[in-house]
Amino acid sequence: GAVVSQHPSRVICKSGTSVKIECRSLDFQATTMFWYRQFPKQSLMLMATSNEGSKATYEQGVEKDKFLINHASLTLSTLTVTSAHPEDSSFYICSARVPGLVGYEQFFGPGTRLTVL
């Protein structure tokens, strides 16, 4: 499958600081990437769709001014959690949608575990 990387894998920060997470497609170009959040013992929840060269589209209930998404190139999307608070502590995972043999498939990066103190 397609390879998606994320950096950093783990970050601990103080409340009120901003954290940037990078998502890269390593062996393909991705015009669309997705950002998910997963709280302990819960399933993945889609936060936003990142579109190369245009604004991201956010799911209902996700604050676009808090979770800034930039998709400046075909291989890189970034998620910035601004003024992070303890309730933002979660597992953030990006994915990219690529054509498979029959239809499109989504492959996930390894995730970034954010802990806000």
- Please, what is the minimum distance in Å from the beta carbon of residue 19 to another protein? 18
Among residues 94, 99, 95, the alpha carbon closest in space to that of 107 is found at 95
* 5 near another protein, judged by CB under 8 A: no
- Please, what is the minimum distance in Å from the beta carbon of residue 61 to another protein? 14
Q: Which amino acid is at 34?
A: F
For 32-42, letters b (16+ CB in 10 Å) and e give bbbbbbeeeee
Interaction pattern, residues 28-67, with another protein; x per rule: CB under 8 A? ----x-x-------xxxxx--x-------x----------
DSSP codes joined into one string, 23-51: EEESSS--SEEEEEEE-TTS--EEEEEEE
Residues between 83 and 112 that touch another protein (CB under 8 A): 91, 93, 95, 97, 100, 102-111
- Please, what is the minimum distance in Å from the beta carbon of residue 117 to another protein? 20
